[in-house]
Amino acid sequence: MKCKFGFDDINDYFDGIMSQEMKKKIEEHITMCEDCCIYYKSLLLTREFIEEKIGLNKDFRKTTLQLIDKSRYTNNKPSILFKRTLSRMKPVLKPAIVAAAVCVCLLMVYSNSYVMQDGINALFGNDGRVAGITCSTPTPSVEINSVKTKDKDIRIPDKETQHFKIYRADADTSDLDALSAALEGYYNKISSDMNHDLNTKVTIRIWSDIKKLHTEIGNPDASDSVISGSIGTTIHLLSPSAQKGKEFNDIGIHELAHIMIADINPDNKVLWMHEGIEGYEAGEFNRQEFKPHYLECVKNDDIPTVSGLSSNYKTIDFGFACSLVEFILEEYGSDKLKELVEDSKSFSDIFGCRESEFHENWVSYLSANYS
């Protein structure tokens, strides 16, 4: 209550147990203080309810108070007076306490600023440069690939582009300009097909030693055909210069597509979607090779359903998975493909038809393009 009177004063006035002088002051106060007026009216309504609905007389509260052993409170009179005084001082105490707390915080910040400055000077030196590294000129002519501090090694990318940070993980000597240009091209294509952009740059680590690459991706026994892998938003790639004469083309695009899918929906585990999108984007969908396979399936009435494509990873039909992605992009567009990645079970909402009807449309598309 933000005034000089407390609820106890209003209660005493309501019960008629105060002097005439004090009673007059309370009456004047109630006419001016909205909070006290509301509280007083609530007491009146309560008494009216008790008298009419419950049947107790208006002196019930007063009689009850008279029956209480007042000696219990007489001995504690100083404590009661202190609590009443504290209650009245609350409007003043609260801002005072807040102001004191702010002052203490400012004092702590001010005193600690000297300690922080000492730490900064110890690490960087008084001139702001990293301790232990000296330069003969303001602009060093030698590129610094890493900066060592007391606690960790901060690596500067060997190549950084709009969407990638590229590092040589070991003694790699590949052309990072060609690699970064190819990666940016792949990113733009996948981003367009998926109608999605990543919020962070992808880290690329280039390895010239394939065994070290396999160990890094957690598959030390992998065959030499495994030349890339991804962990989170980091892609590990075998250096183009270490690919035994293979021409550099789509290295790492599988992993890039996988990262894009995971960024849209990290819970998406639909097999045909991952394999189909990654294979389609990597250019691994050979339409000429797929055509005889498709015709054989038509002959045997063995074209898989959408659900069937995701039933078993080992038996997934890679060609049909890629053709399904192609069908969605050409017939419905990238928006629908992204929506499907976001929620693979909402066929009716996304495509405006049931999954069975969607399957029939896909089969018609295959017949028109691969028969």
Give residue 105's pLDDT.
67
What pLDDT digit, counting tens, does each position of 69-109 carry?
A: 555 555 555 565 666 666 666 666 667 776 777 777 666 65
Residue 80: enclosing H or E segment and its boundaries?
Answer: helix 77-124
How far CA 108 is from CA of 14, 95, 121, 145, 340, in Å, comes to 50, 20, 20, 39, 54
The runs of H, that is alpha helices, within 125-173 are: none
Name the 3-class secondary structure at 36: helix
Q: Does the residue 74 lie in any domain?
A: no
Give residue 134's pLDDT.
35
Q: What is the DSSP string of 288-357?
A: HHHHHHHHHHHHTT-PPPTTGGGS-GGG--HHHHHHHHHHHHHHT-HHHHHHHHH-TT-HHHHHSS-HHH
Same domain, 180 and 147: no
Q: Does the residue 257 lie in any domain?
A: yes
Q: Which of 233, 248, 264 is the C-terminal boundary of a domain?
A: 264
Q: Does the residue 291 lie in any domain?
A: yes
Are the CB atoms for 36 and 29 separated by under 8 Å?
A: yes
Q: Which of 247, 264, 281 is the C-terminal boundary of a domain?
A: 264
Same domain, 188 and 217: yes
Q: Which two tokens stand for residue 116?
A: 């922080």
Same domain, 256 and 283: no
Give residue 116's pLDDT.
45
Backbone angles phi, psi at 166, to 5 degrees: -110, 130
What pLDDT digit, counting tens, does each position of 27-49 carry?
A: 888 888 888 888 888 888 787 77
Question: Given a cut of 70, is residue 190 above it in pLDDT?
Answer: yes
Q: How far is residue 236's CA from residue 214's CA, in Å, rounded to a whole number? A: 9
Give residue 202's pLDDT.
92
Q: Does the residue 2 lie in any domain?
A: no
Name the 3-class secondary structure at 238: strand
Are the CB atoms for 308 and 301 separated by under 8 Å?
A: no
Taking residues 195-208, report their average pLDDT.
Answer: 90
Give residue 163's pLDDT.
93
Q: Which two tokens stand for residue 278?
A: 């990654």
Question: Given a cut of 80, is residue 358 above it in pLDDT?
Answer: yes
What pLDDT digit, counting tens, does each position of 121-169 carry?
A: 444 444 443 333 333 333 333 333 433 333 333 467 888 999 999 888 8
Same domain, 305 and 244: no
Query: What does the mean pLDDT of the chain come to?
Result: 75
Give residue 244's pLDDT.
62
Q: How many domains does the chain have?
A: 4
Are the CB atoms for 274 and 310 separated by under 8 Å?
A: no
Give residue 23's pLDDT.
85
Same domain, 113 and 103: yes
Give residue 64's pLDDT.
64
Give residue 329's pLDDT.
92
Taking residues 191-219, report their average pLDDT.
Answer: 89
Residue 164: enclosing H or E segment and its boundaries?
Answer: strand 164-168
Give residue 152's pLDDT.
38
- Per the structure, the complete domain to which residue 109 belongs is given by 94-156
Q: Does the residue 147 lie in any domain?
A: yes
Q: Does the residue 76 lie in any domain?
A: no
Give residue 316's pLDDT.
65
What pLDDT digit, counting tens, does each position of 231-278 carry?
A: 888 988 888 777 764 544 556 788 888 899 999 999 888 888 888 888
Give residue 92's pLDDT.
64
Taking residues 312-341, report their average pLDDT.
Answer: 84
Give residue 354's pLDDT.
87
DSSP-assigned beta bridge partners for residue 206: 168, 237
Question: Given a cut of 60, is residue 328 above it in pLDDT?
Answer: yes
Same domain, 277 and 326: yes
Name the 3-class secondary structure at 159: strand
Question: Given a cut of 60, is residue 346 above it in pLDDT?
Answer: yes
